Amino acid sequence: MEDAGEARTCEKPRNHTVSELKRVNVEWVGMRHLRCTDCGAMWSPNLRSGGRLPQRYWWCPNGCNNEGRARIRESFKTPIES
């Protein structure tokens, strides 16, 4: 049986719903911003042509939910300063 935390980081959200983002420790803040529920980092995914979200838009810029990968390219996200 998988650890509950492990399952949350492995399943990518498909429909951008609140419940799917919760599985990867992310929540919507307003209509355009995301927040990591682990570290509190906020970012805004830079939309692609046609208004599509970029790949891995849900990855925390601090690496909390991307399975130990390095910080993602800045071109994918704009950090939100609080």
The rounded distance, in Å, linking the Cα atoms of 52 and 10 is 22
Owning domain of residue 75: 4-79
Angle at 46 between CA 40 and CA 50, to 5 degrees: 140
> Looking at the 3D structure of the chain, how many domains does it have?
1
The model's pTM is 0.66
Average pLDDT, the chain: 76
The rounded distance, in Å, linking the Cα atoms of 59 and 15 is 15
Beta-bridged to residue 56, according to DSSP, are none
Position with higher pLDDT, 73 vs 19: 19
Residue type, 26: V
Residue type, 46: N
pLDDT recorded at residue 31:
83
CA diameter of the chain = 40
